Amino acid sequence: MGVLVGRETRALVQGVTGREGSFHTRLMLDYGTRVVAGVTPGKGGQEIHGVPVYDSVREALAEHPEVNASVVFVPARFAKDAVLEAVSAGIRLVVVITEHIPLHDELAMIRYAKLVGSTIVGPNTPGVICPGERCKLGIMPAKMFESGVVGLVSRSGTLAYEVARRLSEEGFGISTFVGLGGDPVVGLSMVEAVRMFFRDEATQCVVVVGEIGGTMEERLANYIASRGAEKPVVAFIAGRSAPRGKKMGHAGAIAYAGVGTAESKISRLRRAGVTVARSVSDITSLVAKYIS
């Protein structure tokens, strides 16, 4: 089992009959992911790519009790209800691909998930992939991710794809990639994800791709400064030239004076002992120093 996902994962897709849900279900199946059920209210009884569709999560679980993860492709206005339905039914890993979910909906579903012990990855995440165990829950281009020994955590999807491609081409590969999501509020935090990689036997080094906005990277720096890093950590922070107070791409990528800037994150991480790359192209050479 990789970090969060692996060959033991049995997935349900919420919003499976929609355009995005159907398309990415096919790609997940082609990759090797065990997608055993789908849910779209009012569409029960159909099949999508051989996957049976049910009207509710509880109906799906009644027929497929082995389900232990859900991938959410539901439109933003229905996403909160979909996530709460999955968590209430006992699913302990919910990967929320949907973007533009209202902030108060995000807060409500993340709070409830924490109360009952479920993990939400996202919202607005590319997902999670474990190449060595052929399990992908999300929308990332699988060809960028070769199996290897580097754990990759990122707030940005496209930057993570480029980092994964470079690490794979250099022969280091990826043990698991976790996309945290680009919104200001997300479920799984950077600290939580990095701690999972510290405990993962398949991971020798952790690469963190951060960006301006929020305090995830600062919190990671605080954690490592106080607890220490159990494995080497290499970080890259995007947005050095971003103007302050202007949102850059992601809703969470906005920096104000002295808060959430690339400079503040880089400084804090370096003081904590984290190796910080100046550019994406530097990451592989820095990783090479730590991998035998």
Domains of the chain: 11-121 (3.40.50.720), 140-288 (3.40.50.261)
- Return the ∠ at Cα 81 (arms to 141 and 127), rounded to 5°: 15
Q: What is the pLDDT of residue 250?
A: 54
Q: For 245, phi and psi rounded to 5 degrees?
A: 85, 0
Active-site residue, from 24, 100, 104, 250: 250
Q: What is the pLDDT of residue 243?
A: 63
Q: What is the pLDDT of residue 258?
A: 60
Q: Is the pLDDT of residue 244 over 90?
A: no
Q: What is the pLDDT of residue 240?
A: 78
Q: What is the pLDDT of residue 259?
A: 65
258 vs 89 pLDDT, higher one? 89
Known active-site residue 49: no
Q: For 151, phi and psi rounded to 5 degrees?
A: -85, 130
Query: pTM for the full model?
Result: 0.94
Q: How far apart are CA 108 and CA 82, in angstroms?
A: 12
Q: Is the pLDDT of residue 275 over 70?
A: yes
Q: What is the pLDDT of residue 1?
A: 86
Q: What is the pLDDT of residue 249?
A: 53
Q: Is the pLDDT of residue 13 over 90?
A: yes
Percentage of the chain beyond pLDDT 90 is 91
